[in-house]
Structure 1
Amino acid sequence: MPSWDNTPSGTMTAAALSLPGAQPPSKCFTIENYYPKPTLPSQKWVLIKVKAAGLNRAELRGRNGDQPAPPEFGMFVDEFHPDPPKVLGEEFVGIVEEAGSETKFGKGDMCTGFIYGGGKAFDGAYAEYVICPAQRCFRLPETSLSWDVLGAITMSMWTAYGSLFEAAQLAKGATALIHGATSSVGVWAVLLARDHGCTVIATTRKKDKVAKLKSIGADHVVLEDELKEQLKRLAPKGVDCLLELAGPDTIQTLALPNLAKYGSVVVTGVLTKQWSMKDFTPALIPPTRKMTFYSLEPGQEDIEGVESVIADVISRVESGTFRSEMFLDKTFPLERIGEAHGYMEENKAIGKVVVTVP
């Protein structure tokens, strides 16, 4: 029996994945108004009334029927299976409906959850209710921000923050290259690195996205096909941090040759769907350079640190330091989840795409 198993009680509204791989994306989903409502698998879990769910590339792959890689299951890697669950969705913001006695939460708490395994190992957040292990659930501060704005902040922002400041230990005044900057994590990386006093080089494949990246704070925006040539001019001694959001298959040709002494490449995204590097050996890593992968894993996270960073960023959004139009691209209601997937899959977004749940 899997660790997340539970006996449903009652019903709820959910966007069920009924026909993976169908086109257009709207044909993949069926809005079910009597979908089984989950219960707590144990007293270490939380049941949340979902208010908004941010979309992730992994969910597009799940909808298409692409087989996930075991690392995508996170803390549920031992329960890996190749087929997608009935309900996708790896992150949410919402209100605690029921909290296990072994958690720190109480009914009515505003919270967010980073359930990387959710939407893979078990039903995710494209639903009225979702279950979440307590160690992946974090309190939100009291705020006047709308649910869709909150949904565009939490997991993408923390992924960018952890990659830059936990993994790369990015220092003030350093130079950061954000490879794949128009993704939601990429946009937050630009905002956070620039706010930290760093020089930011952002990349994109599309000319029509250059102006937006500059408007949110990128010092330089470079088109993908001009990147190698432009880096020689912009960072002749290399960059201090290269945040790789496209995939590890670019590391040997792009990242490692362009790192400054003591620089770091942090792999966070796999937009290319490639999880491995061909013919790689550690001997290819230049001396005094570092290569790492960032993910929030059980036993490694500082929960209080996550919550304090989220609270600080929310306050900065409220004050206008980070404006919602910088990081929230578009909001869709849950019944238009297929349209939201199509919009994201066509690479129209610069920042986060969010669905709101009634």
Structure 2
Amino acid sequence: MSHPAAADGAAPATMRAVVVTRPGALDTLEIKDVPVPVRKPGWVRIKVRAFGVNESEVTTRKGESDAEVTYPRVPGIEGVGVVDEADEDSGLRPGQQVATMMGGMGRAFDGAYAERVTVPAGQVIPFETGLPWDVVGALPEMFQTAYGSLTRGLDLKSGQTLLIRGGTSTVGLSAATMAKEIGVTVISTTRNADRGDELRAMGVDHPVVDDGRIAENVRDLVPQGVDAALELVGCTVLPDTFACVRVHGSVCFTGALGGGWTVPDFTPFMIPSGVRLTSYAGEAADLPAQVFQQQLQAIADGRLNVPVAKTYRGLEQVRDAQADVESGRTPGKHVVLLDG
């Protein structure tokens, strides 16, 4: 048995979606009328209200994803909206607000650049909020990645010091606000000295300009070394990040914004004695529903800032959104808002 479609009527036979017809430039993103996805048992169909646009989707569009992607493909690794149809025993009801992310969305199966998307029930996070959809749409992937990195990756505790390398990225900005909520002193990097005020506005205690070698500057701030470091720039700067961390401190490798996913001729002796290296590449299950709800409340209360760079209206502006993400000129999250 399954719940029927939401109260606004049964799902139509077709829907509009952005389809990557082949790897390539922005013109390979085409708006098409496609069949509404048929929900499989154990899956949930969601009516999409907003979705974030991410670097990984640009990579998928260009054919450079490290995941196996076939074309044509509807991209989109995250989305928010309302339940359209779900199994009766799923605990989800039509019209309920939900978020979803990762788990193969937009890569192994069609993603959220569409009016409707189907995903496994295990990667659906229910919530209740009066926040605007474009604000909520900015959150799932960056909250999941930031929260998972700080908790599962680094086991961050109140009173500790955290270095975020890649601080003006969406995950870096989100991690800074979450870390301050925990009660942590945050040092965060930017390659552009003019962005220091942006980092301070997100709660960062000490912005540091990153020229590739920051260990000396970090040690000036924290002579014994930081307790934890979140690495978002990549393996090209990883040895320098190690040098920022105290004995028995930890580095969590989560991203490679500057390229460099591997270390040539790696040897474990590259890791300083007593410094711990881990990584994070989690899924939706790493962001518990109650934590997501708490974060939404913190935003509503004004205790947590959301780094939204720009909101785009409708699927017609997806190309613009991807172009802006690819340019890297505007820090923060780029969000596409769909009509209700």
TM-score (norm. length: structure 2)? 0.90
Q: Distance between the aligned counterparts of 2:55 and 2:71, measured in 1?
A: 14
Q: Give the equivalent residue in structure 2 for 1:39.
A: 38
Q: How many residues align?
A: 327
Whether the 8 Å CA contact 1:85–1:121 is kept in 2: the answer is: no
Cα offset for 1:90? 0.1
Q: Give the equivalent residue in structure 1 for 2:333.
A: 352
SS of match in other structure, 2:90: coil
Whether the 8 Å CA contact 2:163–2:188 is kept in 1: the answer is: yes
Q: Give the equivalent residue in structure 2 for 1:328.
A: 308
Q: Distance between the aligned counterparts of 2:149 and 2:43, measured in 1?
A: 27
Q: Give the equivalent residue in structure 1 for 2:295.
A: 313
* 1:157-185 deviation line (CA, Å, top 9, x unaligned): 22111111222111111111111111111
From 250, 275, 279, the counterpart of 2:261: 275
Structure 2: tracts of 5 or more residues without a match: 1-10
RMSD: 2.0
Change (3 A) 1:297 1:196: closer
Whether the 8 Å CA contact 1:40–1:100 is kept in 2: the answer is: no
Q: Give the equivalent residue in structure 1 for 2:28.
A: 28
Q: Give the equivalent residue in structure 2 for 1:228.
A: 215
Aligned 1:137-152 pairs, distance under 5 A: 137-141=124-128, 143-152=129-138
Aligned 1:1-358 pairs, distance under 5 A: 10-22=13-25, 25=26, 27-32=27-32, 34-41=33-40, 43-66=41-64, 68-70=65-67, 81-83=68-70, 85-101=72-88, 103-141=90-128, 143-225=129-211, 227-251=214-238, 253-297=239-283, 301=285, 306-324=288-306, 327-333=307-313, 334-358=315-339
Cα offset for 1:86? 1.7
Cα offset for 1:215? 1.4
Q: Distance between the aligned counterparts of 2:156 and 2:293, measured in 1?
A: 21
Q: Distance between the aligned counterparts of 2:115 and 2:206, measured in 1?
A: 42
Percent identity over the alignment?
37
Whether the 8 Å CA contact 1:50–1:128 is kept in 2: the answer is: yes
Q: Distance between the aligned counterparts of 1:209 and 1:60, measured in 2?
A: 24
User: 4+ residue stretches of structure 1 with deviation over 4 A?
Assistant: none
Q: Distance between the aligned counterparts of 2:174 and 2:283, measured in 1?
A: 20
Letter in 2 for 1:122: F
Q: Distance between the aligned counterparts of 2:319 and 2:232, measured in 1?
A: 24
Q: Give the equivalent residue in structure 1 for 2:8.
A: none
* 1:88-110 deviation line (CA, Å, top 9, x unaligned): 10001110101134523221111
Change (3 A) 1:248 1:102: farther
Whether the 8 Å CA contact 1:53–1:89 is kept in 2: the answer is: yes
Change (3 A) 1:323 1:231: closer
Letter in 1 for 2:262: S
Whether the 8 Å CA contact 2:229–2:252 is kept in 1: the answer is: yes
TM-score (norm. length: structure 1)? 0.86
SS of match in other structure, 2:135: helix
Cα offset for 1:82? 4.5
Letter in 2 for 1:29: L
Whether the 8 Å CA contact 2:188–2:204 is kept in 1: the answer is: yes
Q: Could you say which structure has the higher helix fraction?
A: 1
Letter in 2 for 1:120: R
Whether the 8 Å CA contact 1:85–1:119 is kept in 2: the answer is: no
